[in-house]
Structure 1
Amino acid sequence: MRQLVALVLCALVTGCGGYAREPASTAAAPPPIPVDWSVEDPGPPPAEPLRPDLLVLGTDTLPEPLVAEVLAVRGVRGSLRLSVASVAVAHQTITVAGADLAPYRRFAAKVTAESEPVWRALAAGEAVITHEIGRDLGQDLGGELALRDQSQDFRLRIGAYASTVPTIDALVNVRRAEQLGMVPGNAILLSVDSTDVRKTLERVTGGTASVQPLSEPARGAGGERQAAYLTGGSVAKAVGSFSYRYFPDGSVEPDARWVSANIRTETVPLLGRVTCHRRMLSQLRGALTEIERAGLGALVHPGEYGGCYVPRFIGRDPRRGLSLHTWGIAVDLNVPGNLPGTAGQIDRRVVSVFKKWGFSWGGDWRQPSTDPMHLELAALVES
């Protein structure tokens, strides 16, 4: 299922254009992902737990020779191959890991490793999420994450809230990761003897993967670079991946090479000059051109445009994930009359045209969590 464009967990609080949201689908309840495989054995609590120190992360499956070099570095005490993805949660992202449960359990915090309900939930194909994400969800335990791609919707039950490995917001078992289209084996979780090992690993990996410390509370602040990429599908491949650093005010600085290759400022109908991802501009221009030709141009208010490329965290809080505006693939239209939590005043004929041009609309999310100003790139459409 690599064709997943961006899994949208429609129950999470997100932010766009400076506002916070809790998107959720208004459509008929989507079917659950079928559980057609045997239950995975999570094993017993570990007798010798491992401290999660470093995460080696690439945008594709790590080559076996590179993996062998990483594991041969002196000072590496324990390791585990993972699938790790930046998953779109409406217009923010969270980090999801897919793992074989028994070896992952050795890296978990003591209270999590010893909690049998957590591992039974994971074995049954449910998601375990952090307490912080759970707080943003606003759902009771046992609620469902609504996931959608270009062609179909799914539900994934929230089996437990638990502390996970630092920087990982949600955990699923390896079979579920396959169903969700996550790249297999693109990360290695490491326990090491000292921080000096990191420098050696950075030389070994070169530009193939990033080496991220997991013991630092501030991920990327003040110069530490992190990797960001969306999982699966044509949109994810089109927008590309980048490294970034962030600052105390919650703003984000993507790698200058990625910005130069992908972010453009151009003139489009009705809105004038906009700055967006180059792959979105043609579809944005197509939608606005069709709206104008249909005599609906007065329904789009250029003075109320809320922006497109705005690199930052949701609410400028690093714990809440990157906004999709960091990729430049979302726009906010007619902001004052379409605030979060309302039905929105935007004309539905305008929305219909945008959907035709491959955009999804925040107004489709369940009240009081609607975000009718928000339109994001969900599928590639030829001009």
Structure 2
Amino acid sequence: MGVRRGAGLAATAALLLALAACSEPESADVPSPVTEKGPEPSSATSSPAVPVADPAHAVDPPGRRDGRLWSADILVQWDKPLDDALVKQISRLEGVAHTERIGLGQVSLENRVLTIAAVDPGDYRNFTRAEVADFQEAWDRVAGGELAIDRSVARRLQDEEGTIRLGVEDDSPTLHVGAYTPQIPTIDMVVNTAWAADIEMADDNGLLISTDGTTPATIRKPLERLVGDDVSVQMLDIASTLGLDPDAQLTALPTGGTLGSVVGVYRYRVLGGGRIAPEPSWVAANIRTEVVPILGAVTCHQDLFPQLRAALLEVQSRGLAGEINPDEYAGCYYPRFIANTTSLSNHSFGLALDLNVPGNGRGTVGEMNRDVVANFKTWGIAWGGDWRYTDPMHFELSEVKAVGG
């Protein structure tokens, strides 16, 4: 089944293709947003050049879209750069019409683990819907160092200046949102490859596959035999309906110094009821049950315990133990998706815990003692009450700190 190249103005309007506000003081020459209906189809040959917003993270502008569109049918993710010979073998499989290399990583933003793709804007755009692929200004902005993201995801995460910090550390890269565009299933946001090193992600560990007129599921088994057991192979036609491919072994490669070094490669399968089954070897190597002050026995990632124990000991020494109610502790390691989503949380890695749950619901100021909060932050444990959409019961590892003996 071919991909329809044309689309009317009404379809373009429905996609809400709009650019984010450009209020950065040092980017005064970045163009102001286009209207939400997007550009008229006839404007494709006359839209003005878009100034580069971030020269340090810019790639060559893609120019006008060239060549045909391809359906995004299968997404393959490795935990290392792709081998040229293997890519050639994949492209020769019966049913594979076209492939595109991309980088894939997972970034933790306010307890949501989202997938980011580092792409060549000129080539990758041909795997998107026609209205998106032909939205020239969006791809010029990605080439110029800005971020393309679905509007609903951006609304939760971007600040008043239209920027999003990609990571839990204070020095994580901060990108300006250049375009609101619908994304390929399972991908939440897109940057150009010049950002990959700063985000601490690969720029060549993923492969998009178009099967064109062939049903994607028919090549699943030969593809899986070719790439091996440790590689994630997702059918995107299923993901577009269910949110995720239930038959796939999925992979998370958290970016950034803290999560990347602590979590490593996280493979899992989807179970019913929002639950997941992490790879047993990862669980055996990383998850422990230990006794800590105030809370007693808890099950968490082994690398959280030194800082968690130090923070709770200091809470005790300062006479604040009564501010944490062990009966209102809601756990640390929970291998499941965030409720009503297909997004992992840091609880899936055992790197977050929920305290004093009844009085600290999402979207509220909460009742957490601020001295306790400050103490946790001192030990590299961030607080969800600081987020744009607050979660004051939630604490998570944000920085690995050495704890003395």
1:144 aligns with 2:163: yes
User: Using the alignment, how far apart are the partners of 1:381 and 1:264 within structure 2?
Assistant: 19
Distance 1:187 1:89, change over 3 A: same
Alignment root-mean-square deviation, CA: 2.7
Q: Find the counterpart in structure 2 of residue 73 from structure 1.
A: 93
User: Using the alignment, how far apart are the partners of 2:78 and 2:393 within structure 1?
Assistant: 34
Q: Find the counterpart in structure 2 of residue 12 from structure 1.
A: none
| Greater relative contact order (CA < 8 Å, ≥ 6 in sequence) | 1
| Structure 1 counterpart of 2:183, one-letter code | T
Could you list the per-position Cα deviations for residues 123-156 of structure 1 after superposition, in whole angstroms to 9, with x for gaps in the alignment?
221111124424545889x822134553525532
User: Using the alignment, how far apart are the partners of 1:118 and 1:81 within structure 2?
Assistant: 20
Could you list the per-position Cα deviations for residues 166-196 of structure 1 after superposition, in whole angstroms to 9, with x for gaps in the alignment?
2111111111233322212111111124433
Distance 1:94 1:31, change over 3 A: farther
| Structure 2 counterpart of 1:105, one-letter code | R
Q: For this pair of structures, how many residues does the alignment match?
A: 350
Q: Which consecutive unaligned segments of at least 5 residues does structure 1 have? A: 1-28
How far 1:295 moved relative to its partner?
2.6
How far 1:100 moved relative to its partner?
0.5
User: Using the alignment, how far apart are the partners of 1:257 and 1:313 within structure 2?
Assistant: 20
Question: In terms of mean alpha carbon deviation, does 233-242 or 330-339 score higher?
Answer: 233-242
Q: Find the counterpart in structure 2 of residue 378 from structure 1.
A: 398
2:318 pairs with one of 287, 294, 298: 294
Alignment of structure 1 residues 313-332 onto 2, 5 Å: 313-318=337-342, 321-332=343-354
| Structure 2 counterpart of 1:59, one-letter code | D
1:201 aligns with 2:220: no
Asked if structure 1 preserves the Cα contact closer than 8 Å seen for 2:172 and 2:256, the reply is no
Distance 1:234 1:132, change over 3 A: closer
| Structure 2 counterpart of 1:58, one-letter code | W
Distance 1:158 1:340, change over 3 A: same
| Structure 2 counterpart of 1:94, one-letter code | L
Q: Percent identity?
A: 38
2:285 pairs with one of 251, 256, 261: 261
Query: Which structure has the bigger radius of gyration?
Result: 2
Q: Which consecutive unaligned segments of at least 5 residues does structure 2 have? A: 1-23, 28-52
User: Using the alignment, how far apart are the partners of 1:31 and 1:152 within structure 2?
Assistant: 19
Distance 1:354 1:147, change over 3 A: same
Q: Find the counterpart in structure 1 of residue 179 from structure 2.
A: 160
Distance 1:190 1:153, change over 3 A: closer
1:179 aligns with 2:198: yes
How far 1:266 moved relative to its partner?
1.9
The TM-score with structure 2 as length reference comes to: 0.78
Could you list the per-position Cα deviations for residues 58-87 of structure 1 after superposition, in whole angstroms to 9, with x for gaps in the alignment?
122233443343334343221111111111
Q: Find the counterpart in structure 2 of residue 244 from structure 1.
A: 268
Question: In terms of mean alpha carbon deviation, does 249-258 or 304-313 score higher?
Answer: 249-258
Asked if structure 1 preserves the Cα contact closer than 8 Å seen for 2:169 and 2:258, the reply is no
User: Using the alignment, how far apart are the partners of 1:180 and 1:107 within structure 2?
Assistant: 23
Asked if structure 1 preserves the Cα contact closer than 8 Å seen for 2:298 and 2:332, the reply is yes
Alignment of structure 1 residues 286-365 onto 2, 5 Å: 286-318=310-342, 321-365=343-387
1:117 pairs with one of 130, 134, 137: 137
Alignment of structure 1 residues 42-121 onto 2, 5 Å: 42-121=62-141
The TM-score with structure 1 as length reference comes to: 0.82
Question: In terms of mean alpha carbon deviation, does 218-227 or 99-108 score higher?
Answer: 218-227
How far 1:39 moved relative to its partner?
5.1
